[in-house]
Structure 1
Amino acid sequence: MAIDEKDIGEVAKELKGAFEDFKKSNDKELESIKAEKNKLEEKTNQLNEKLGEIDKLKADLEKEIKEFKRPGGTKGTEVSAHKKAFGQMLRKGIEDGLGDLQQKAIQVAVDGDGGYAAPEDLDTTLLELLRDESPMREVCGSIVIGASGYKKLVNIGGAGSGWVGETDARPATGTPTIAQLTAFMGEIYSNPQATQQSLDDIHFDVEGWLAGEVSREFAEKEGSAFLLGDGVNKPKGILAYARAVTADKTRAFGTLQNLKSGIAGGFTGDNIIDLIYSLKKGYRKNAVFMMNTLSLAKVRKLKDSEGNYLWQPGLQLDQPSTLLAHGIAENEDMPDVAADANAIMFGDFKRGYAIVDRFGTRVLRDPYTNKPNVGFYTTKRVGGMLLDSNAIKVLTLSL
């Protein structure tokens, strides 16, 4: 049968119509998929955020339980007298005999710049509150000193022994290399204000109020310094120390190892696994991750090759949520996920970094500067130092 141009035109017309129908149907399908994907993505993000809130609520409740169970300290006669006199100074500005009581109670003289040392139980309570407020204080080591600074000697290697036969000579061995670590110290201050009327109220817990106000201010400033501080009149933070990609055997002492994710501004589950096993076995037992909330939200979506989620919620009391069986310290001072960001750390922070507190928080009562309010100029010396550069690893989101 002959085929003319009319037949071809009709087929072409039918083909065009079918293609138009296909495009409409396909576009509708794609739009539906996109809408459903957006809907699911929004729901996932909402659930992820809710999951983070519930996880934080559980951790906060566990802290409250520990706080409730914390035993009170014993008070000797001199300590009690000092505490009472200190309370009078806070409320009324009465300083009679406080300097002498202070020296007897805690062997600390009146500061030449003015102010008095807080009673021991208030000072230790302040440190406890700081520990609860600051993620760095929760996971890092802590040293309390009485002097203005702190130094530590460490053995970083060198042959100090050898193998010999029963009758062989004992040749001299190499001398171990000793390094001196020095804490970077600084003075931190806060100046909370209260009205004289509130101080006159016998039901107002002035010491508890002072500890709470100061701990919040100190925790924010300290936390940032312990992580990012440059060491100038403040602690030197972990991420301020030198970093290199070389392994422990060849990297210089005092230099942290950073692993590259291979993705500018991103990371994978394999990066997390590599980060864990870059740490020697002896450190991994007590190692935890450190990242901010946004990084943690991304981590919760990661799966292994079998489809299992790497992040698992802690469902029992005192059982924290984990990432590949290791705890997670949320720290909002950690860098956000971005190109070249040091977004995730992993390590035994107690062995790797020490927070150094000089015992003796000082308080200067100031009823004049901001009348009718009374200011409490509160200061303490605090520092930080990297102890073991092999104990902490850094994941850098770069090629």
Structure 2
Amino acid sequence: MAIEKKDIEEVAKDLKGAFEDFKKANDKELEAIKAEKGKLGEQVDTLNEKLGELDQLKTELEKELKAAKRPGAVVGKEADAHKAAFSQFIRKGREDGLAELQQKAVQVGVSEDGGYAAPPELDESLLEILRQDNVMREECGSIIISGNGYKKLVNVGGAASGWVGETDNRPDTDSPKIKEIIASMGEIYAKPKSTQQALDDMFFDVEQWLASEVAIEFAEQEAAAFLTGDGVKKPKGILAHTLDLKNDKTRDFGKLQKFVSGTAGNFTYDNLIDLIYGLRKGYRNGAKFMMNGLTVAKVRKIKDLEGNYIWQPSTQLDQPSTLLGYGIAENEDMADAAADANAVMFGNFKRGYAVVDRLGTNVLRDPYSSKPYVEFYTTKRVGGMLLDSNAIKVLTLSAA
């Protein structure tokens, strides 16, 4: 069924109505006498769950609408020939001329481990599917490289200056400090299987199947690595970096500033305000909160000092629901609201962290190891790097 703008408008209308019902029920629960509180609490939880479902549905419909409008890729003769040869390799195991076509179309040779590079269309399709399934890819920056690694130099300031009179001496000043940051890379793999009979079916879209199957395997592994990965044979995630209570002026580059809630396992409106304004003004344009679904349900119940709900539903196309005026990136790999948990982040994630993809996905066809299935050993080199440690703030739910 084609997704239309009016479908999203209807969901947005339902979302707004559900939020009004939720506010009324939650206000009653807060004011209710103890005898009625249990029943109203169940009603609030039910409405809160419905809000989450409608908000997610609206977001998914918007993504589907964008995908339907995306223009197809334009390819040349060499790319077409490579794609056709690769399809025959996947379906039948035929390798005739594939190495030469691959070298012309993709500018890479055959991998040392065997196998062939997927056509650019399939590689781009895989990256697109991964963005849809992986909130970290969707929210963070993206760098595509052709080599095995990536590094860059960053100016972290440090040049001194001062006031002098017309005839005063001009003492030497410190030079600007340059830091080198390096992406932590790893090779991720998946081994989807198919029967030969399915591969022989001319109506079976083998490339789309391969991209989808690989994306399912990659997305779960990647999402966790970009958030908490230790950097050993995998990306180093945002929360794997050192957390420090010092502010941007006194904290070492490469360490993230954390705020402590003051209550083990809980946080308040004031904590969220501190998190927002702990981020410098230049970063707040484009900033978002990041938390899991249970924490989103929790913040829907919080009010500001004037009694207004700080979470507001979106009723406009391509406009997300907001928390204190900022969007929310829902990430189920974020910790639940528990004692000492890093349960909430706020920042400009595109400026703060980047996913680094090496160009190309490699596929090795194996019809022997898992008979009667044909196995496709698919590998991709991917990494992550903290670009700017001032761009992301962390809220730790701790008493001290």
Which residue number in structure 1 is paired with residue 10 of structure 2?
none
How large is the Cα RMSD of the aligned pairs?
1.5
Q: Which residue of 1 aligns with 2:70?
A: 70
Offset at residue 173 of structure 1 (A): 3.5
Partner residue of 1:190? Answer: 190
Between the aligned partners of 2:170 and 2:207, the Cα distance in structure 1 is: 64
Distance in 1 between residues matched to 2:311 and 2:177, nearest whole Å:
41
Q: Where do residues 241-320 of structure 1 align in structure 2 (5 Å cutoff)?
A: 241-320=241-320
Residue 103 of structure 1 aligns to a residue in which SS?
helix
Tell me which residue corresponds to 2:377. Answer: 377
Residue type of the partner of 1:188?
I
Cα distance in structure 2, aligned partners of 1:147 and 1:164: 49
Query: Residue in 2 aligned with 1:150?
Result: 150
- The 3-state SS of whatever aligns with 2:124 is helix
Distance 2:52 2:238 in 1: 26
Q: Which residue does the alignment assign to 2:25?
A: none
Unaligned 5+ residue runs, structure 1? 1-31
The separation in 2 between residues aligned to 1:90 and 1:168, in whole angstroms, is 76
Give the Cα separation in 2 of the matches to 1:204 and 1:300. Answer: 45
| Cα displacement string for residues 361-387 of structure 1 (whole angstroms, at most 9, x for unaligned residues) | 001111111111111111000000111
Q: 5 Å matches for 1:351-362?
A: 351-362=351-362
> Which runs of structure 2 are paired with 1:18-33 in the superposition (5 Å)?
33=33
- Corresponding position of 2:240: 240
Residue 160 of structure 1 deviates from its aligned partner by 6.6
For the residues of structure 1 that align with 2:215 and 2:311, how far apart are their CA atoms?
Answer: 32
Which whole-Å CA distance do the structure 2 matches of 1:276 and 1:182 have between them?
28
* Runs of 5+ unmatched residues, structure 2: 1-31
1:347-367 C-alpha deviation (Å, 9 max, x unpaired):
000110011000010011111
309 and 79 in structure 1: CA distance in 2 versus 1, 3 angstrom threshold: same
Q: Which residue identity does 2:286 align to in structure 1?
A: N
Alignment-derived partner of residue 325 in structure 2: 325
Does 2:107 align with 1:89? Answer: no
CA distance in 1, matches of 2:53, 2:35: 27
Query: What amino acid maps onto 1:352 in structure 2?
Result: G
- Partners of 1:138 and 1:183 lie apart in 2 by 18
Q: Which amino acid aligns with 1:226?
A: F
Question: TM-score when scaled to structure 1?
Answer: 0.90
TM-score (norm 2): 0.90
Corresponding residue of 1:122: 122
Amino acid at match of 1:218: F
- Report what 1:103 is aligned to: 103
Question: Counterpart of 1:382 in 2: which secondary structure?
Answer: strand
Equivalents in 2 of 1:262, 1:169: separation in Å?
Answer: 50
Structure 1 residue 34: Cα displacement: 3.6
Contact 2:245/2:258 (<8 A) preserved: yes
Question: CA offset at residue 36 of structure 1?
Answer: 1.8
Aligned partner of residue 73 in structure 2, secondary structure: coil
**Structure 1 moving runs of 4+ over 4 Å:** 160-172
Question: Between the two proteins, what is the percent identity of the paired residues?
Answer: 68
Asked whether the equivalents of residues 159 and 177 of structure 2 are also in contact (C-alpha less than 8 Å), the reply is no
Query: Aligned equivalents of 1:250 and 1:295: distance in 2?
Result: 31
CA–CA distance in 2 between the matches of 1:33 and 1:175? 66
Between the two proteins, the alignment pairs up a number of residues equal to 368
How far off is 1:35 after superposition?
Answer: 4.3
Alignment deviations for residues 33-77 of structure 1 (CA, whole Å, 9 cap, x no partner)? 444211100010011011001100000000001111111111111
